[in-house]
């Protein structure tokens, strides 16, 4: 029987807390804290209406380590689930170490003044978590998260080694707005405007942002342009699969999204360095995020599906030569909204956050130190995906991708 403390009250947190409440046997006591308590209260109200479960709520600035430590000591959770922003990863890990509790997140740490997506800051905590006998699980969302688990499942059940890997993230949803992001706009735009990087022959190769485009026909969505970009799981996948010759990440964007983003970039609105405005320093991207539609308000109008998966080519486990497999999940925005009041991008992240938490509080995944998803047995996680709203399918392709 475990108590969990969830930090952050955005779309991902909302889905995760709803799903935890739907699994009362695993999560009998749920506490939710964020910077704005009214957002926690709104989630708690929806959870109560939908499931009958009570969620205790608190106000916290997660960057204030002593306040976080006090809250953890008061709540006495066995796990802190960080669903705030990547900037809070390190202070929350510090608080977990001081209060002696396990940690989970869905996105790697980013410094506020530089759009750098690297694990080294969090990997540096490994020895301290290990010495304290605590576990930190990094990146238990969809990508990173499920994409890493998909890859390791293929390596356990289909392929002895993986030579080539492509992660395909397609959001075929239409929210009816000219421009909006499906998760936190600041984090999303930092990610999309950063240079692309892919793994090739033992090193990362950097290319300009959004420079490589390929059309792909996604099941349950149709043909979409996808763009090569950097995504943090490439670093952990390359680390834990040293045989990889090439690993790339692709995300679909519509022409309208690209058009708006290009203009915003050209006029300087995506800058993350401070600008003096009326005697005050502002960060243009933070101001832009404040005027864009809030991702949690898009749920009601978003129609269509997401289709996220992994195509891997390598030597078959059964000795039958080189094989290529495609493993993916298709998620309906409407069904996600019906179940939790949130669209599918929050759903596909919040459900794996719940499942990763379940793996930890039940002791299915154990360890002392800081771990990535690639280091854990994929099977129990894959089973829970099927049972909790993100069913997956795997099929063999004729050969490696031709792009």
Question: Which residues ranging from 348 to 367 are in contact with ligand NDP (CB under 6 A)?
Answer: 349
Angle, helices 378-387/344-361, rounded to nearest 10 degrees: 130
Tell me if the bond preceding 144 is cis, omega within 30° of 0: yes
The yes or no reply on residue 141 touching ligand NDP (CB under 6 A) is: yes
Q: Which long-range contacts (CB under 8 A, 24 or more apart) does 270-276 make?
A: 270/189, 270/193, 272/112, 272/113, 272/114, 272/115, 272/190, 273/113
In the bound state, the residue with its beta carbon closest to ligand NDP is: 10
Q: Least CB distance from residue 93 to ligand NDP, whole Å?
A: 14
Tell me the window of 83-91, 221-229, 244-252, 267-275 that interacts with ligand NDP (CB under 6 A): 83-91
Question: Is-contact 124 108, C-beta < 8 A?
Answer: no
Q: Least CB distance from residue 344 to ligand NDP, whole Å?
A: 11
Candidates 233, 244, 249, 247; CA nearest to 314 is 244
Q: Least CB distance from residue 174 to ligand NDP, whole Å?
A: 19
Q: Which residue, 34 or 302, is less far from ligand NDP as judged by CB?
A: 34
Compute the distance between CA of residue 375 and CA of residue 373 in angstroms, rounded to an integer: 5
By rule CB under 6 A, what string of x and - marks binding of each residue 100-119 to ligand NDP? ------xx------------
With CB under 6 A as the contact rule, the residue among 16, 187, 221, 336 that binds ligand NDP is: 187
The backbone region for 89, taken as left when phi is positive above 0, alpha when psi lies in -120 to 50, beta otherwise, is: alpha
The residue count of the chain comes to 403
- For residue 236, the surrounding DSSP H or E stretch is helix 233-240
> How many residues make contact with ligand NDP (CB under 6 A)?
33
227, two tokens: 């763009």
With CB under 6 A as the contact rule, the residue among 20, 22, 29, 34 that binds ligand NDP is: 34
The yes or no reply on residue 9 touching ligand NDP (CB under 6 A) is: yes
With CB under 6 A as the contact rule, the residue among 4, 26, 55, 60 that binds ligand NDP is: 60
Question: Is-contact 165 246, C-beta < 8 A?
Answer: yes
Q: Least CB distance from residue 43 to ligand NDP, whole Å?
A: 9
- For residue 149, the surrounding DSSP H or E stretch is helix 146-157
The yes or no reply on residue 12 touching ligand NDP (CB under 6 A) is: yes
Question: Is-contact 97 132, C-beta < 8 A?
Answer: yes
The yes or no reply on residue 13 touching ligand NDP (CB under 6 A) is: yes
Q: Least CB distance from residue 394 to ligand NDP, whole Å?
A: 20
Question: Which residues ranging from 255 to 314 are in contact with ligand NDP (CB under 6 A)?
Answer: 295-296
Q: Is 171 exposed, middle or buried (0-12, 13-18, 19+ CB in 10 A)?
A: buried
Per CB under 6 A, residues contacting ligand NDP are 7-13, 34-36, 39, 60-63, 83-86, 88, 106-107, 141-145, 183-184, 187, 295-296, 349
């Amino acid at each position: 029987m475990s108590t969990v403390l969830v930090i952050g009250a955005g779309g991902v947190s909302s889905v995760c807390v709803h799903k935890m409440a739907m699994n009362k046997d695993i999560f009998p006591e749920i506490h939710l804290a964020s910077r704005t308590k009214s957002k926690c209260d709104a989630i708690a109200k929806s959870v109560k209406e939908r499931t009958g479960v009570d969620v205790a709520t608190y106000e916290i600035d997660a960057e204030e380590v002593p306040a976080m430590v006090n809250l953890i000591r008061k709540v006495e959770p066995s796990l802190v689930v960080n669903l705030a922003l990547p900037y809070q990863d390190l202070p929350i890990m510090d608080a977990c170490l001081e209060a002696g509790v396990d940690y989970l997140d869905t996105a790697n740490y980013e410094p506020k003044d530089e759009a750098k997506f690297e694990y080294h800051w969090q990997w540096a905590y490994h020895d301290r978590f290990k010495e304290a006998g605590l576990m930190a699980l990094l990146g238990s969302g969809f990508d990173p998260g499920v994409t890493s688990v998909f890859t390791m499942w293929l390596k356990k059940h289909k392929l002895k080694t993986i030579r080539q890997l492509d992660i395909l993230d397609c959001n075929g949803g239409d929210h009816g707005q000219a421009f909006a992001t499906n998760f936190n706009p600041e984090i999303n735009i930092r990610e999309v405007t950063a240079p692309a990087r892919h793994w090739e022959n033992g090193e990362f190769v950097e290319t300009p942002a959004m420079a490589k485009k390929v059309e792909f026909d996604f099941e349950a969505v149709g043909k979409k342009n996808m763009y090569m970009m950097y995504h943090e799981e490439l670093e952990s996948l390359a680390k834990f699969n040293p045989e990889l010759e090439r690993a790339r990440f692709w995300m679909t964007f519509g022409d309208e999204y690209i058009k708006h983003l290009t203009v915003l970039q050209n006029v300087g609105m995506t800058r993350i360095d401070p600008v003096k405005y009326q005697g005050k320093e502002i960060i243009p991207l933070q101001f832009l995020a404040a005027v864009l539609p809030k991702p949690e308000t898009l749920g009601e109008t978003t129609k269509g599906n997401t289709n996220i998966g992994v195509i891997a080519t390598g030597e078959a486990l059964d000795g039958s030569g080189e094989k290529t497999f495609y493993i993916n999940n298709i998620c309906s925005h409407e069904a996600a909204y019906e179940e939790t009041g949130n669209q599918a991008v929050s759903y596909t992240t919040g459900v794996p956050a719940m499942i990763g938490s379940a793996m930890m509080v039940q002791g299915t995944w154990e360890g002392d130190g800081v771990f990535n998803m690639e280091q854990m047995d994929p099977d129990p996680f894959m089973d829970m995906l099927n049972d909790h709203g993100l069913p997956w399918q795997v099929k063999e392709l004729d050969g490696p991708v031709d792009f």
